[in-house]
Amino acid sequence: MLSLLRLPVSGRRSSSPLPLARRQAGFTLLELLVVLTILGLLGAIAVPQVMRYLGTSRSQTARVQIQALMSSLDLYRLDAGRFPTEQEGLRALVERPATVTNWNGPYLSRRNGLQDPWGNPYGYRSPGRNGAVDVFSLGSDRAEGGTGEAQDVGSWQ
């Protein structure tokens, strides 16, 4: 008789014929739907914030890389007596141009430092519109102007 009687932990009799462990083993469909709805709402709020942060982080990365390129260009100018021409471009920081005799490079440790965070080559103007030389990225849209992730980033900023 005692083996047929199942008592819950509280000491009261259970009205269900199923053992206590089996009744508490899973989640109901309603509980799962509530959790999925909450996760969906959190995702709808968080994903746009993360995407906005990703866009600004690429722009910030471009600014830092442009500053590094400008420092490398200053070292190049100290050695060669001039900035690279537009034809030589930023490649002159990693490969010795044929017309330069006092080249002590490479001035950049990696060739991929010549590409912006969107995978495009940095633009270079000599003489520049905003200084002796301009180094710039046209952003994600590869066109002048733009806002957000598509904004231009340059050495003049």
> What mean pLDDT comes out for the span 17-24?
58
Give me the mean pLDDT over the 112-134 stretch.
87
Q: Which domains does the chain have, with CATH numbers?
A: 30-154 (3.30.700.10)
Whether the per-residue pLDDT at 1 is higher than 50: the answer is no
pLDDT interval class at 9 (50, 70, 90): low
Three-state secondary structure of 90-157: HHHHCCCCCCCCCCCCCCCCCHHHHECCCCCECEEECCCCCCCCEEEECCCCCCCCCCHHHCCEECCC
